Amino acid sequence: MRLTKHGHACVRLERDGRTLVIDPGAFSESDAAAGADAILVTHEHPDHFDEGRLRAALEARPDAALWAPRAVAGALTAAFPGRVHTVGDGDVFEAAGFPVEAHGELHAVIHPDLPRVANTGYLVDGSVFHPGDALTVPHRRVRTLLLPLQAPWSKFSEIVDYVREVAPERAYDVHDGLLSEQGVPVYERMFGPAGPGIGATEHLRLAPGESAQV
């Protein structure tokens, strides 16, 4: 399938003329969800869930559908009956022709004073895993990990250990909208032989709008 990076945590997957978009939030391009046959949202935070953009995408494509945790799905179910689906850990479904497994239950801890929200990671086609805002390990082979590179809830040592535990063939950076241009090379260096490293996993980065075959 073809993987295209959009801003921050959003990616587009395309195969056989069908398009699946994950997490077209407020930090991604305004048209990130446009033309999607199906949309997956991991959780309710605005950098992953932009209600206005989702409404526009669903209104433009009457056959498009959305899968998301309850807090997100509940905001759109009434407006798009039969097209918005609530999902959680363990659910298996098909979206735009892609088989999808749902993994994980909660957002990572930002701070003990802040309540945790539901977070669902998605394994697409048994190959590409987007964990959302959590370091969920699907406990099955993952070829391509969409790696949440930097966030208020994470630290570098956790990210390294996460990649090592999942042990994908390759890891593409996502969730990098808060990271400066000067900071990116620091992460790249630390993932390589100059840092603790991530074993045999190939660490890769796509600029917004750039694509790769996975």
User: 46 falls in which pLDDT band (50, 70, 90)?
Assistant: very high
User: 8 falls in which pLDDT band (50, 70, 90)?
Assistant: very high
Beta strands, E only, the chain: 2-5, 11-15, 18-22, 38-40, 65-68, 84-86, 92-95, 98-103, 121-124, 128-130, 144-148, 170-174, 202-204, 211-213
> What is the spatial distance between Cα 119 and Cα 45, in angstroms, rounded to a whole number?
10
Give residue 113's pLDDT.
98
Please identify which residue in the block is written with the tokens 């992460």. 187
Amino acid identity, residue 2?
R
Tokens of 125: 């086609």
User: 162 falls in which pLDDT band (50, 70, 90)?
Assistant: very high
Give residue 158's pLDDT.
96
Report how far apart, in Å, the C-alpha atoms of 205 and of each of 136, 145, 200, 212 are.
21, 12, 16, 10
User: 6 falls in which pLDDT band (50, 70, 90)?
Assistant: very high
Give residue 71's pLDDT.
97
Give residue 115's pLDDT.
95
pLDDT digits (tens, 9 = 90+) for 164-214: 999 999 999 999 999 998 989 999 999 999 999 999 999 999 999 999 999
Mean pLDDT, the chain, whole residue set:
96
> Of 40-44, 54-58, 156-160, 189-193, where does mean pLDDT reach its minimum?
189-193
Domains in the chain, CATH or no CATH each? 2-104+118-207 (3.60.15.10)
Q: What percent of the chain has pLDDT over 70?
A: 100
pTM of structure: 0.97
> What is the spatial distance between Cα 59 and Cα 178, in angstroms, rounded to a whole number?
30
Mean pLDDT of 94-110: 98
User: 82 falls in which pLDDT band (50, 70, 90)?
Assistant: very high
Contact by Cβ (8 Å): 98, 13? yes
Largest CA distance in the chain: 52
- DSSP assignment letter at 106: B
Give the number of other CB atoms < 10 A from CB of residue 83: 16
> What is the spatial distance between Cα 75 and Cα 117, in angstroms, rounded to a whole number?
15
User: 66 falls in which pLDDT band (50, 70, 90)?
Assistant: very high
Mean pLDDT of 133-160: 96
